[in-house]
Homo-oligomer: A and B are copies of this chain.
Amino acid sequence: MLILKATIISIGNELIQGRIVNTNASYLSRRLTLLGIDVVAHIVVGDDFNDISKALDIALRLFGSNIVVTTGGLGPTYDDITSEAIARYLGEEYIINEEALREVKEKYESRNMPLTPERIKMAYMPKSAKSLQNPVGIAPGFMVSRDNFTIIALPGVPAEMEGIWENGVEPYLKRFSNRRLAETYIRLIGAPESTLAAYINRYVRGKNNVYIKTHPKGHETRGPINDLYIMVSTGQETDPSEECLKVCNELIDILKKNVEGLLVEGECICNKSL
């Protein structure tokens, strides 16, 4: 089974200066994971040609990603340089995309606003790019493909990024999805993570399609609470929620039998992905 690998590159000084939280990376990671695509890394860099080029190289060469999604740097300001940086990295001309220009022009003209250089800038893309319509704001996204990878460039404003993703990207990526996932969360109260760990470690060993993780929410020694996360992946033909349910019930049984005073909140319910 070929599993596609994806890296998310978030671009913007406001991110590396810690003035905003990178919710775009978690949104995109979640969507890609639910499509059965493995997200291998996030990379965040500032608005700098060299650093964007490094990030693309890391994603494509070091992590061997088939899909690279960038966010940020598509706007009208002097430091919005993502499109040009991608064009340079690919050795492509950076030119006006006619479809993108039509979209930008229409949006400004419908408000009686002229096309200035800063506005036209948002229609510049690598020569082979396919423009992606922005249903929320102005700056269009785009997609450039090679034989073994696709780079998808989206704006940094979350609502615009999500709008383009849902309209133009996810329908395209769905056809490459060849894996199904099911997952569940269940809360365990009264046992330290370090106690649960021994039983979980032993149970999960050798089960390559099963991922189990405890997320501590309380205090390890004073009132421990852990959210147990279980994810099971299978090929397209199998229903992963059955195996997920089996894993969850087996593990809860083992923990209940062995860990004194353990309280399990709720029961095993596995949700299938998209």
A interface, CB within 8 angstroms of B = 10, 13-23, 25-33, 39-46, 51, 54-55, 58, 62-63, 75-79, 107-108, 110-111, 113, 116-119, 122, 137-138, 157, 192-195, 197-198, 200-201, 204, 211, 213-216, 219-222, 229, 231
Contacts and interface: CB of A to CB of B under 8 A. Distances in A.
15 contacts: A17-B33, A17-B39, A18-B32, A19-B26, A40-B46, A41-B44, A75-B193, A76-B197, A78-B200, A113-B192, A116-B194, A116-B198, A119-B194, A122-B194, A137-B216
Contact of A28 (B14, B18, B211, B231): B18
Given A41-B45, A118-B198, 9 more contacts: A13-B211, A15-B29, A16-B40, A17-B39, A18-B27, A20-B26, A42-B43, A43-B43, A75-B194
Contacts of A33: 17-18
B14 A18 contact: no
B58 A107 contact: no
Contacts of A117: 198
| Most B C-beta atoms less than 10 A away, residue of A62, A117, A192, A197 | A197
A63 to B, nearest CB: 7
A28 B42 CA distance: 16
Nearest to A137: B220
A43 B58 CA distance: 10
